[in-house]
Amino acid sequence: MTLLSYTPEIAEARTRGLPIVALESTIITHGMPWPKNKEMAQQVEADIRAAGAIPATIAVMDSQIHIGLSAAQLDRLAQTPDALKLSRADLAVALATGRTGATTVAATMICAARAGIEVFATGGIGGVHRGAEHSFDISADLQELAQTRVTVVAAGAKAILDLPKTLEVLETLGVPVIAYSQDALPAFWSRDSGLKAPLRMDQPAQIAASHRMRAQLGLPGGQLVANPIPAVDELPASMLAPLIETALREAEAQGISAKGVTPFLLRRIFELTQGASLAANIALVRNNARLAAEIARALA
Ligand code: PSU
């Protein structure tokens, strides 16, 4: 049995050199409730096709890394909320033990790179959690961006995080943080974090060119393209701020830690916004998928 299993469509796209966009699966199992999670995954795949690229949703099932999921596999995964949340540390263990695992940004980057896929769309990357000076909770996504050559399109890092510290760590790690078509770093559900992004680019073709340039320079690591949520879909940061504070206090009081923190906060903010955060989350992932498809087309 081969380690990587491609759907026939993706196998053909690889041989023909067609543009492919990788998609992660933790957002499906741990980021959104059933059945919206499955609808989102299907919709995002359709968006990528409409933009002229081939979607490749990545997950671990039956001791294989699946590059592209069948409708039945996607359906099964979306109803497996206890799937492992896989990052660099546990990817091999899930494969060795046959457990079903959803890939985070970090694990999806590893799998995409092995499959020769250079562009990946997600919602928001993990980063430095608030209070990290005490908890040391820093997402493995940041290290992965520093070492694996995949361009990741996200709406920045999630607003539940400490964004200034996240930017500092990315700078230390040598990861280019490129805001798309604006100067400000986006803040996931909102367009503007109040922080200036280190870099700005306005053309997908130039983002593709800088991806290539890093390889020519022999630099490891990818790029983070921070794509703001469309204005019509954004939630005001001022409305979210107190709700994020409430959710963070609850997480602390309930002793939520490690991999549990982000899913807990996303779920609580979904409840506190009466579902508005989920609608925004879906809109921003779709927006990221469309931009990722344009970058993949420029690279193909
Ligand atoms: N984007 C979303 N929702 C999510 C995620 C991204 O819109 O749930 C997932 C990604 O898989 C990312 C993970 O890698 O959240 C970050 O988790 P942590 O903070 O535990 O590293």
User: Ligand 1 centre from 120 Cα, in Å?
Assistant: 13
User: Ligand 1 centre from 114 Cα, in Å?
Assistant: 21
Residue partners of 8: CB distance under 8 A and separation at least 6: none
| 31 residue type, one letter | G
User: Ligand 1 centre from 229 Cα, in Å?
Assistant: 16
**Model pLDDT for residues 97-147, shown as the tens digit of each residue:** 999 999 999 999 999 999 999 999 999 999 999 999 999 999 999 999 999
Q: CA-to-CA distance for 44 and 282, rounded, in angstroms?
A: 9
- Nearest alpha carbon to residue 296 among 47, 114, 117: 117
**Model pLDDT for residues 222-265, shown as the tens digit of each residue:** 999 999 999 999 999 999 999 999 999 999 999 999 999 999 99
* Residue 228 CB less than 6 A away from ligand 1: no
* The pLDDT of residue 283 is above 90: yes
Tokens representing residue 42 in the block: 């299907």
pLDDT of residue 1: 86
C-alpha 151: how far from chain center: 11
- Nearest alpha carbon to residue 156 among 21, 277, 24, 285: 285
Is residue 158 annotated as part of the catalytic site, yes or no?
Answer: yes
Q: CA-to-CA distance for 7 and 152, rounded, in angstroms?
A: 22
Q: Which domains does the chain have, with CATH numbers?
A: 4-299 (3.40.1790.10)
Among 105, 162, 282, residue to substitute to test ligand 1 (most atoms within 8 Å of Cβ): 105
Catalytic residue from among 36, 38, 158, 259:
158
CA dihedral (238, 243, 246, 248) positive or negative? negative
* Residue 105 CB less than 6 A away from ligand 1: yes
**Model pLDDT for residues 22-33, shown as the tens digit of each residue:** 999 999 999 999
Average pLDDT of the residues of the chain: 98
User: Ligand 1 centre from 97 Cα, in Å?
Assistant: 23
Among 43, 141, 284, residue to substitute to test ligand 1 (most atoms within 8 Å of Cβ): 141
Atom of ligand 1 nearest to the CA of 102: 11
Q: Are 104 and 86 in contact (CB under 8 A)?
A: yes
CA dihedral (263, 238, 193, 190) positive or negative? positive
Residue partners of 63: CB distance under 8 A and separation at least 6: 1, 95, 96, 98
